[in-house]
Amino acid sequence: MNTMTDFPREKLPELLRTMPKAELHVHIEGTLEPELIFALAQRNGVRLPYSSVEALRAAYAFTDLQSFLDIYYAGAGVLLHEQDFFDMAMAYFRRAAAERVVHAELFFDPQTHTARGVPMGTVIGGLARACAAARAELGISSALILCFLRHLSEADAFATLEQALPYRQHFIGIGLDSGERGNPPEKFARVFARCRELGLRIVAHAGEEGPAQYIRDALDLLGAERIDHGVRCVEDASLVARLAREQVPLTVCPLSNVKLRVFDSMAGHNLADLLDAGLRVTINSDDPAYFGGYLNQNFLETFHALPRLEARQAVQLAENSFAASFVPDDWKARWRDDLARTVARLARA
């Protein structure tokens, strides 16, 4: 039998849950669950403007990206000590490992912490220690990507880069996140040029709320190797053709897009169209503690809402996540073999 075309649809959820996959777009501060926010607030003597976990969760009714970011930056205010960053990342890694995530590239937002007086070494130290522990205890590989906040100035990004350079061995790349509208890639062209000189890998959020032109500019002015989100590329047919031709990965985050009203509903999401257009799409969780689910929930809800997506696309998405990851080719080949074995085993069962 042809494993892909004959794969029974009723086994699709199990395939999505059990196939090996890489997560390439997750903000570690976006994995802070309300329970952990309260626990850390108590541990650190931080006062929260919410009376309970339930009251905090009730505030997660977002109308757009900015309404989310306001609450997300406030939530990160409970992180003070190296152990806090370690605990947050380990909580994510435990969930990810249980979902068959074999590799995760974590975004972190140092400016959110250094602006509150938390030293850069505290942030990176705790996250790097968690990455090492995740490898040793959970068998999950990972890497850190430092993001500049685009609502702040390029001078602030340059200063942040300087502060991070003593810890250069602990991060592999640089990203660009926060409020997209009115903060075009061009604002950061010089600091990204410096990052490229330093041999850092480059990614950037673009085409989430911002226009297709920001995707072009992230590629041409920043040297982005992956585009985070990128769903608004469809507004420019020649850009879609270029993304397909160059196989630029798009790290798409379906639950995030619905929660932040980039799309009205999951059924209206364009992920299947992007795959049909031959784009190197991946599925990711963005800020799972805020958007209603981790990576497998994103896969399950997307496939449930878009019946055009079948086993073939599930495998394609997992393969894309390996292809788009910043790891040696032999790691990718091993994960692809693992994926093929998982599919064959399920098809036979």
**Contacting residues toward ligand ADE, per CB under 6 A:** 27, 30, 65, 72, 177-178, 205, 208, 256, 286-287
Provide, rounded to whole angstroms, the least separation between the CB of residue 212 and Zn ion: 18
Interface pick for Zn ion out of 286, 298, 320, 335 (rule CB under 5 A): 286
In this structure, the number of other CB atoms found within 10 A of the CB of residue 169 comes to 8
205 is in an annotated binding site: yes
- Least separation, in Å, of the C-beta of 27 and ligand ADE? 4
Closest CA to 282 of 217, 227, 340: 227
CB 62 within 8 A of CB 287: no
Question: Which has the closest alpha carbon to 104: 190, 163, 224, 24?
Answer: 24
- Please report, as a single letter, which amino acid is at residue 288: P
Structure token digits, residue 278: 């031959």
Q: Near Zn ion by CB under 5 A, which window of 215-223, 241-249, 281-289, 305-313? A: 281-289
Give the number of other Cβ atoms within 10 Å of residue 198's Cβ: 11
> 341 burial class (0-12, 13-18, 19+ CB within 10 angstroms)?
exposed
Shortest approach of ligand ADE to residue 25 CB, angstroms?
8
Q: Which partner in Zn ion, ligand ADE, none is near 291 (CB below 5 to 8 A by kind)?
A: none
Residue nearest to Zn ion (CB): 286
Q: Is 287 annotated as a binding residue?
A: yes
* Spatial distance between the Cα atoms of 172 and 168, rounded to a whole number of angstroms: 8
Q: Which stretch binds Zn ion (CB under 5 A): 59-67, 149-157, 279-287, 301-309?
A: 279-287
Contact 68, 259 (CB under 8 A): yes
Residue 226 contact, options Zn ion, ligand ADE, none, Cβ 5-8 Å cut-off depending on partner type: none
Residue 330 Cβ vs ligand ADE, minimum distance, rounded to whole Å: 32
Q: Which two tokens stand for residue 231?
A: 């769903």
What is the maximum span of the chain, computed from C-alpha positions, in angstroms?
61
Smaller CB distance to Zn ion: residue 286 or 319?
A: 286
The answer to whether 103 is a known ligand-binding residue is: no
β-pair partners for 142 = 104
235 catalytically annotated: no
Q: Is 151 annotated as a binding residue?
A: no
Given the residues 33, 105, 180, 208, select the one marked as catalytic.
208
**Nearer of residues 252 and 339 to ligand ADE, judged by Cβ:** 252
Round to whole Å and give the CA distance between 192 and 185. 9
For the chain, state the CA radius of gyration: 19
CA distance 334 to 346: 19
The answer to whether the annotation marks 64 as part of a ligand binding site is no
Residue 180 CB, shortest distance to ligand ADE, in Å, is 6
Residue nearest to ligand ADE (CB): 177
> Residues interacting with Zn ion, by CB under 5 A?
286
Active site positions, annotated:
208
Binding residues for Zn(2+): 25, 27, 205, 286
Binding residues: 25, 27, 205, 286-287
Binding residues for substrate: 287
